[in-house]
Amino acid sequence: MLQSMTHVLHRILGRKLPAAVSGSGVTLRDADGKTYIDASGGAAVSCLGHGHPDVIAAMHAQIDRLAYAHTSFFTTEVAEALADTLAADAPEGIDHVYFVSGGSEAIEAALKMARQYFVEIGQPQRRHFIARRQSYHGNTLGALAVGGNAWRRAQFAPLLIDVAHVSPCYEYRDRAADETPEAYGCRLVAELAGEIERLGPQNVIAFVAETVGGATSGALTPVPGYFRGVRELCDRHGVLLILDEVMCGMGRTGTLHACEQEGIAPDLMTIAKGLGGGYQPIGAVLVQRRVVDAFSRGSGFFQHGHTYLGHPVACAAALSVQRVIRRDRLLEACRRRGDDLRAGLDRRFGSHPHVGDIRGRGLFVAIELVTDRATRTPFDPAHKLHARIKQEAMARGLMTYPMGGTIDGRLGDHVLLAPPFIVTPQEIDQIVERLGEAVDASIASVGAGAQGATPIASAATR
Ligand SMILES: Cc1ncc(COP(=O)(O)O)c(C=O)c1O
């Protein structure tokens, strides 16, 4: 454990954290010698696990050659090679990459790029973004403004740009009993169409959405046809589609990009976590050719920039991560282990009285906790069930990524799992077993869930 005195301003003040000292494969070790299975890849970051020899060697080699060169003076071989790799496997029409240092920076860049695109093509009146409730796009001010998590936004609201929010695609809570998934998707697209009309289609810059919802919603998968409907709607009004795949992208759902499974390509796409697998801080915006063309024909530059854009060591780490994923067929592994994980969770929680939903894709899955499966009543948020589960899991040597406020920023608890793609079936069994114990112990500690929160109205009426 850390000594009581710390000069680090930690996320939660006054809480004692174990000190991580080493990592290997899916396991992290703390200073007391205790080991933890990293079943969440931190926050869906560590796609190759820890201490991967190829990535570490690539970083060493890059540092020995060149550790840093500012991008207003130079490009580097390694940034060019990484961009070539990403462009080669990008969704239809995407052929340029803008490198940044993380997910929030990627979103900020995408928002500004979208706005500048319309200035370049002579539509400077476009000024509105539309995003979704319950989404998470990062913690910087622009990212927080498009984000839809009420609790995270609340105290910073006076500082945030005005963004319109529509319903998330949240089938478990919001699809009516007599509605097909497709009809539900159409209803959501119609809601977005209404919002575009309200703002004036000629005034809207972009719709921003996580392809599969992550941190604040818990692996929310889109219903069939939803994103195709969104794409058509955006095209009809000349509105850009920005997909945020910072968490769900780069293989996490079993395909390199989550949008491949939706059969659409965005105009701008943000990626980060799995891009560098945690070995270095790196994110990127993948950009459609026509956006780049508009910049080329117009001002000739993107009015943005940070000191560490395209950092050579970060690019070297990411290039190595992406090469290992291809060489070792880890997308296939992700799909297969994803099936194993899902089967394990179904066995352990499929008829658990307090698990209302098991959802996700590939190695990006979540369970949502309820006091009662029939009424889908969430736990009283005062219990902080999600925090208890995280603590009980850590006590059992298991890292998970639970969050509260799943439903509306206040109510609801889920646990997100996103293990490295190299996880073995045996490790998956251990993950499921330890998670089961942690969930049961946490629920027992709040008194078997008798104290549910008041059932909530559907998102459509909130
Ligand atoms: C979908 C999504 N977008 C953006 C971000 C912000 O990324 P970062 O924490 O690297 O700034 C996150 C982080 O969890 C995310 O999940």
Strand order of the sheet with strand 240-244?
94-100, 283-288, 268-271, 240-244, 204-210, 128-132, 163-166
Ligand 1 atom nearest to CA at 245? 1
What are the pLDDT tens digits along the chain (462 aa)?
444 689 999 999 988 999 999 999 999 999 999 999 999 999 999 999 999 999 999 999 999 999 999 999 999 999 999 999 999 999 999 999 999 999 999 999 999 999 999 999 999 999 999 999 999 999 999 999 999 998 899 999 999 999 999 999 999 999 999 999 999 999 999 999 999 999 999 999 999 999 999 999 999 999 999 999 999 999 999 999 999 999 999 999 999 999 999 999 999 999 999 999 999 999 999 999 999 999 999 999 999 999 999 999 999 999 999 999 999 999 999 999 999 999 999 999 999 999 999 999 999 999 999 999 999 999 999 999 999 999 999 999 999 999 999 999 999 999 999 999 999 999 999 999 999 999 999 999 998 544 577 644 443 333
What gap in Å lies between CA 99 and CA 280, rounded to an integer?
Answer: 13
CB 422 within 8 A of CB 25: yes
What gap in Å lies between CA 325 and CA 166, rounded to an integer?
Answer: 35
Residue 272 gets which letter from DSSP?
-
Q: Which of 149, 246, 250 to mutate to test the pocket of ligand 1 (most atoms within 8 A of CB)?
A: 246
CA of 274 to the centre of ligand 1 (A): 11
CA of 374 to the centre of ligand 1 (A): 33
Task: Enumerate residues lining ligand 1, CB below 6 A.
Answer: 43, 102-104, 107, 136-138, 210, 214-215, 244, 246-247, 272
Ligand 1 atom nearest to CA at 210? 1
Give, to the nearest 10 degrees, the angle between helix 312-327 and helix 77-88.
40
pTM summary value:
0.96
Residue nearest to ligand 1 atom 3, measured at CA: 137
Residue 361 DSSP SS3: strand
Give, to the nearest 10 degrees, the angle between helix 53-65 and helix 312-327.
150
CA of 406 to the centre of ligand 1 (A): 16
Residue 303 gets which letter from DSSP?
S
What gap in Å lies between CA 443 and CA 39, rounded to an integer?
Answer: 20
Enter the tokens of residue 437: 């114990």
Neighbours of 376 (CB within 10 A): 18
What gap in Å lies between CA 414 and CA 404, rounded to an integer?
Answer: 7
Would you list the DSSP string of 117-140?
Answer: HHHHTT-TT--EEEEETT----SS
Enter the tokens of residue 82: 């990484």
What gap in Å lies between CA 10 and CA 28, rounded to an integer?
Answer: 20
Query: What is residue 422's predicted lDDT score, i.e. its pLDDT?
Result: 98
Ligand 1 atom nearest to CA at 104? 11
Q: How much helix, strand and coil, in percent to the nearest 5, is found in the chain? A: 40, 20, 40
CB-facing half-sphere around the CA of 416: CA atoms within 13 A: 27
Give, to the nearest 10 degrees, the angle between helix 330-349 and helix 312-327.
80
Q: Which of 137, 245, 401 to mutate to test the pocket of ligand 1 (most atoms within 8 A of CB)?
A: 137
What gap in Å lies between CA 322 and CA 251, rounded to an integer?
Answer: 10
Enter the tokens of residue 76: 């580097």
- Count, in order, helices (H) and strands (E) of the chain: 15, 15
Strand order of the sheet with strand 398-399?
20-24, 27-30, 35-38, 398-399
447 phi, psi to nearest 5 deg: 90, 45
The C-alpha torsion from 50 through 55 and 57 to 60, rounded to 10°, is: -100
CA of 242 to the centre of ligand 1 (A): 14
